[in-house]
Amino acid sequence: MFSKVAARLHGETNPLYKIRDEILAAGGKVVDLTSGNVTEHGIQFPQPLLEEILTKAARRARVYRPDSFGQKTAREAVARYFEAQGVAIPADQVLLTPGTSLSYWYAFKLLADEGDEILSPRPSYPLFDYIAALSGVKLIPYRLVERRQWAIDLENLENSISNRTRALVLISPHNPTGRVTTADELEALADLAARHDLAIISDEVFSEFLITRAALPRPAHGHAPLILTLNGFSKMFALPGIKFGWMGVTGERERVREALRALEMISDTFLPVNETVQAAAPDIFHEGRQFLAEYAAEMRRRWEITRGFLDQASGCSYHAPDGGFYITLKLERDEEAAAQALLRQTGVLAHPGYFYEIPPHHLVFSFALEPAQLRSILPCMLPIIG
């Protein structure tokens, strides 16, 4: 009765999550140290301001006049955001989506036919595997090199290209390593994309949360044939439930024109972005600036708290993240055993590295928790992971 894709999307519960379920079923508590949902950790867009913005937006959106690309005022707000970041992407080269996950699906369907290949970094977030399966494309991994602070292995990337390769995914700041791709790396990627006629899908959802850098180097500045720049309100304004994202389309004029023509038809098929949210977007960008500045500063503070504890651990090492909400630790013991012991002994859920296809042995977790929780949990973790 069901498709092959449906069969691939169902699997056994991982042993780690079976332990979690056992603890919860027995009435115990589990602290999910893997969650980057900051709304669960004391960071929320100011509620009175959000209510005011949405009330005004609902009035503006009372007559339904959809636009396949998204309402012009919202796209203009995205274009102004890009301009403030030093990136020239006009409003008519912006497509609105209900979040970055669907932006990826649009991009995969735009660029690849059934069985075609898209290069994706390893380690990487597991979500892409499911989106690729739903899109009918094959993800081909390219390496990030841990001993080089998770830099892209450009030789490995180029050797991974075949006659079915259509695009490469770049995540910067990267999840879960926190690596920010350098300007030199971006130049090399643009050269590679031009030589092999590849598009670049640039995921910038953690772009506002830089730790070691003042500005984010972006592929949109480069000379690749086609660049699709993805972002949204989920991480940026701690508004995952708003479901507002965007795709900026840049590159060679004819490629951009063809991409926009196809994307218009894809989006028009669904018209998936809430009209009230689109009407609210300009005010969220404008009125939320102070909140965003405070939020980004708070995430840097939480990293410094986490770093202070990790630097006391003798049995693990790490490369400090350049941005984002996650840290990847290299362990001197078995990662699965460490993750299970951590969960059983302290009630803390962290992910072993193989969840992200990181060679053994590693542990991945978020430092997005509230400072008081970090100060309580991290000292209990260190004897186990160290």
What number is the average pLDDT over the span 89-115? 97
pLDDT band, residue 184 (cuts 50/70/90): very high
Residues 102 and 191 in one domain: yes
Strand ranges in the chain using DSSP code E only, listed in sequence order: 31-32, 94-97, 117-122, 138-145, 151-152, 165-171, 199-203, 226-232, 245-251, 316-318, 326-331, 348-349, 351-352, 362-366
Percent of the chain with pLDDT over 70: 99
pLDDT band, residue 3 (cuts 50/70/90): confident
**pLDDT of 8 above 80:** no
Residues 337 and 227 in one domain: no
Q: What is the CATH number of the domain that holds 254?
A: 3.40.640.10
Q: Nearest CA to 324 among 209, 202, 180, 232?
A: 209
What number is the average pLDDT over the span 113-123? 97
pLDDT value at position 6? Answer: 81
pLDDT value at position 4? Answer: 81
**pLDDT of 9 above 80:** no
Q: Nearest CA to 69 among 93, 104, 103?
A: 93
Indicate the SS3 state at residue 124: coil
Reported as a single tens digit per residue, the pLDDT across 167-183 is: 999 999 999 999 999 99
pLDDT value at position 12? Answer: 65
Q: Cis omega before residue 176 (within 30°)?
A: yes
Residues 208 and 248 in one domain: yes
What number is the average pLDDT over the span 120-148? 94
Residues 34 and 56 in one domain: no
Reported as a single tens digit per residue, the pLDDT across 344-384 is: 999 999 999 999 999 999 999 999 999 999 999 999 998 99
Per the CB < 8 A criterion, the answer to whether 70 and 247 are in contact is: no
The domain boundary, picked from 245, 262, 287, lies at: 287
Per the CB < 8 A criterion, the answer to whether 229 and 220 are in contact is: yes
**Residue 10 structural domain:** 4-44+290-385
**pLDDT of 125 above 90:** no
Residues 132 and 267 in one domain: yes
The domain boundary, picked from 237, 263, 287, lies at: 287
Record the tokens describing residue 125, joined without a space. Answer: 């977030």
Residues 82 and 169 in one domain: yes
Q: What is the CATH number of the domain that holds 360?
A: 3.90.1150.10
Choice among 2-16, 206-220, 277-291, 304-318 with the minimum mean pLDDT: 2-16
pLDDT mean across residues, the chain: 96
Reported as a single tens digit per residue, the pLDDT across 22-66 is: 999 999 999 999 999 999 999 999 999 999 999 999 999 999 999
Own/partner pairs for 375-381, CB < 8 Å, 24+ apart? 375/305, 377/31, 377/33, 377/346, 377/348, 378/305, 378/306, 378/309, 378/310, 379/309, 380/346, 380/348, 381/342, 381/346, 381/348, 381/350
Indicate the SS3 state at residue 365: strand
Residues 256 and 118 in one domain: yes
The domain boundary, picked from 287, 314, 345, lies at: 287
Residues 145 and 274 in one domain: yes
Reported as a single tens digit per residue, the pLDDT across 296-350 is: 999 999 999 999 999 998 889 999 999 999 999 999 999 999 999 999 999 999 9
Q: Tell me which of 137 and 1 has the higher pLDDT.
A: 137
Residues 38 and 66 in one domain: no
Reported as a single tens digit per residue, the pLDDT across 233-275 is: 999 999 999 999 999 999 999 999 999 999 999 999 999 999 9
Q: Nearest CA to 279 among 105, 43, 72, 21?
A: 72
DSSP labels, 201-267: EEE-TTTT-BSS-SS---GGGS--SEEEEEEEHHHHTT-GGG--EEEEEEESHHHHHHHHHHHHHHH
Residues 222 and 131 in one domain: yes
Number of domains in the chain: 2
Residues 213 and 153 in one domain: yes
**pLDDT of 11 above 80:** no
Residues 351 and 253 in one domain: no
pLDDT value at position 185? Answer: 97
